[in-house]
Amino acid sequence: MLFEVWAPDAARVRLRTGAPAPDPAGRAVPGAGEHGGTDRPMEPDPARPGWWRVSAPAGPGTRYGFVLDDGPVRPDPRSRRQPDGPEGLSAVVGDEGGPRAPWPGRGLAGAVLYELHLGTFTRAGTFDAAAGHLAHLADLGVTHVQLMPLCPFPGRHGWGYDGVAPWAVHEPYGGPAGLRRFVAAAHAHGLGVVLDVVHNHLGPSGNHLPAFGPYFTDRHHTPWGAAVNLDAPGSDEVRDYFVGSALAFLRAYDLDGLRLDAVHALADTRAEHFLARLSAAVDALAAELRRPLFLIAESDRNDPATTAPRERGGLGLHAQWNDDFHHALHTALTGEAQGYYADFARDPLAALAKTLTGGFFHDGTYSAFRGRGHGRRLDAATPAHRLVGYAQTHDQIGNRALGDRLAARLGPERSACAAALVLCGPFTPMLFMGEEWGARTPWQYFTDHPDPQLAAAVRTGRRREFAAHGWAEADIPDPQDPATRERSCLDWDEPRRPDHAWLLEWHRRLIAVRREHLDPALRLGDVSVRTGSTAEGARWLTVRHSTLLVAVNLGDAPADVPELAEGERLATTHRCAGTRLPAHAAVVLKV
């Protein structure tokens, strides 16, 4: 087997191989690799400067690592498996599961996404346990499961955004074989799978990349310290490293797309931005595999270039999260006005109307939260599916002090109004796990750092952050307490209770209406919105697009909405007499 590694500053590199990992029954697995470890000197690759290579006998499960200049043995930067965690040796990965069933893929237009954290979707926190609930998602009508990050991180439980091995899969979840089984099970239910990946930073513990080469640069700084090196000397290989990781996940696991975390933190001054290069590589892979693949960006820039075609100077990503829609909807539902909600809370219905018709609220307007103008206007011809709309995400729940969900504050009726605007609105809708039945379990920030100093720093930082906003430090959950993760696990008994079952059926109905009546080619310019309010407390809004009209009353009094007389009622939360829309009610009509 050929082993390769990029280590441009090393004078000597050795490969260390050990015994293959035992199988689950504890028996030795056949394969090469000497028990106790064997070192082999590696030779420079004459065709690729900075690369080292050597052939050695090895097979699936063989443990190995690299020794640079007589230092400690380190895991492979391109490791596909870390059976003993990020600090342990890497392991050779075989073709677990054998041949895979053909999968035609599921594209983004017409999709309904479902964001899922593997470690709290079930209490077991494994791929196999999560696969047991895929029938629920298929019956709900979602099209794609969007998995939060799966790359290895220290400890067992965490959000996944502190991963340190960008080519591997977290072993406590089930490792590479577990992910393959999960994807195969999802595909058997007709569900696509999207993976959240982090290219803008690595976690604070267990990151061995700096020992191998200039993977980071002080030329730019981010909230996590030195930036990933995308434009300084050595950046060609670093860019290839992260593009290669993305392509490897898409190809090896038959994934349908990737969600890219915080792309605004990718500092890159080169003429071809890293994201343009990545999107070109993914499009080429889609053509090779003959099935659709897509990239969804998380970006706070409100920049149309994010999803504009590369041939028009854009980055060529296929969609981006729309936090402006979330913020407008959140303020309209809750009345909250702190922090970044302040700009939207001045007139929540107007803000909601602007985002539904134009995509961005901040499209060059002044942002009081930022103290400057922000964003640019999207073209009216922009396909609406290029924006992902949601009422909740892992960030918008988990980054609250107590991790409280909307349903815990709004109750089922106003939660149903939010669902109508998300699921029958113009954007690609996304639900956060449990949202479909109004889960009351919180989703809190939790970690499992083995390093006691890092654990203490995270705990203290979290409490100080919210203390600055008036919270008592004692009220902030301890991220390191196992009970914090336990509280965040879904309660799968909830969907069977009456209030939750009603809301679940409402979500199921809305998704069915969307599937039957929404035009996948819908553009932003095809959407129209009307709003109204009364002195009695009614606050209503209608959204018209394709053949659908969505009407919601977010206020505490009934409202007369003339458009309710125009069409066939496809879904309704309340009995509506004529054009009278009750308080906290939603209606979807075919017009």
Annotated binding site for substrate: 259-264, 323-327, 394-399
The CA distance from 458 to 456, in Å, is 6
Contact 127, 118 (CB under 8 A): yes
The DSSP output letter for 585 is E
The distance from CA 304 to its chain's CA centroid, rounded to whole angstroms, is 20
What letter does residue 389 receive in the DSSP assignment?
Answer: E
Question: Encoding tokens for residue 114?
Answer: 């479902």
**DSSP H helical segments within 364-439, as ranges?**
394-398, 406-423
CA 330/CA 473 separation, integer angstroms? 26
- Selecting among 115, 196, 237, 298, the annotated active-site residue is 298
The Cα–Cα gap between 367 and 345 comes to 12
Nearest to 387 by CA among 428, 418, 422, 421: 428
Catalytic entry in 162, 171, 261, 343:
261
d(CA 472, CA 475): 5
Neighbours of 408 (CB within 10 A): 16
Assess whether 516 carries a catalytic annotation: no
All residues at 6 or more sequence positions from 320 whose CB lies less than 8 Å from its CB, including other chains = 296, 297, 298, 299, 306, 307, 386, 387, 388
Residues in the chain, total: 591
Question: At CA 385, angle to CA 380 and CA 388, rounded to 5?
Answer: 110
Instruction: Please indicate whether residue 491 is annotated as part of the active site.
Output: no
Burial class (CB in 10 A: 0-12, 13-18, 19+), 25: exposed
Backbone angles phi, psi at 171, to 5 degrees: -65, -40
Catalytic residues, by residue number, are: 261, 298
